[in-house]
Amino acid sequence: MEIAKKMVQEVLPKYFNEKASNFEKKMGLFIMDDMVEFLGQELLGQIWPDICKTLVSYTDNHSPELRQAASYGLGEFIKHTNVDYPKYANDILNILYKGLEVSSDGQLEDEYQAAQDNVVTAIGKLIKHRGKEYSNLKEIINKWLQKLPITEDISESAGQHDLLCDIIIQSPDMIFGNNNENVPKIIRILCKIVNSKYSNEEVDKKINKIVEGIKQNSALVSLIPKAKEGATKKVIAKINKFFA
């Protein structure tokens, strides 16, 4: 705690002053991310609101390096806030939605996608850890689904896709959409990630279970041709294999 106090009072202010470069701000955000993840609210309770304010202020930043660092920290903030989460709930959701809409203009594709993946992952953590605290959870899940799969931030891929599978298995009404409108998108995602670096053994097992369930439902089977529309050749081949 002596080190944490020194970081808050002496080090972090240097990273976030008006003249700080993006690199310095990114380093400051990285330090803040680690403090949230490894120290948590119990130890940092007095400055917890200020941490949230700082992370929120950078989550829709046009710079992908700042947006990525801030949104990762915000995802961890969501996960590790054990007290008074409702105080932060609306600000967090609103800024994550804004982060999703940041334009890619002037950004390298891989850097932009890595930042977006972190924003999407933060929304996934919100769904997983705080979903019951949002009355519009179904809308949030739909927004999250539209930005999947996670393909640039491999460290987060399997966890987010595992969450996707759990929602499909446990609460299909929350994700299939009106008249099963989301099912073609879901099939494309599952067929892209299965048996790939975006998955793992446990996720693959869940995908196989979901596929078997779809095959036994004629209404869902009728949507398979639509799932192929706009898909890559590789994904179409997987769809054909799984739904032969």
Q: Is the pLDDT of residue 18 over 90?
A: no
Hunting for tokens 């334009």 — which residue is that?
Answer: 103
- pTM exceeds 0.85 for this model: yes
Q: Who has greater pLDDT, 91 or 4?
A: 91
- Looking at residue 52, which CATH number applies to its domain? 1.25.10
What pLDDT, in 10s, does the model give residues 186-227? Answer: 999 999 999 999 999 999 999 999 999 999 999 999 999 999
Based on the domain organization, do 127 and 24 belong to the same domain? Answer: yes
Q: How far is CA 36 from the centre of its chain?
A: 17
Query: Mean pLDDT for the chain?
Result: 94
Tell me which amino acid residue 120 is.
Answer: V
> Both 140 and 52 in a single domain?
yes
Residues 142, 184, single domain; the answer is no
> Are 139 and 241 in the same domain?
no
Dihedrals φ, ψ of 70, to 5°? -70, -40
Q: Are 94 and 132 in contact (CB under 8 A)?
A: no
Number of domains in the chain: 2
Query: Which domain, by its residues, includes 219?
Result: 154-244
Residues 58/66, Cβ–Cβ less than 8 Å = yes
Last residue of a domain, one of 113, 131, 147: 147
Close Cβ partners of 202 (under 8 Å, ≥ 6 residues apart): 162
pLDDT for the residue numbered 93:
98
Convert 109-126 to b/e letters by CB count within 10 Å (16 or more is b).
eebbbbbbbbbbbbbbbb
What average pLDDT does range 126-131 have in this prediction? 97
Residues 122 and 202 occupy one common structural domain: no
My answer on whether 191 and 237 are in the same domain is yes
Kindly state whether residues 116 and 214 are assigned to the same domain: no
Per-residue pLDDT tens over the stretch 97-126? 999 999 999 889 999 999 999 999 999 999
Sign of CA dihedral 102, 107, 109, 114: negative
Contact (Cβ atoms closer than 8 angstroms) between residue 73 and residue 115: no
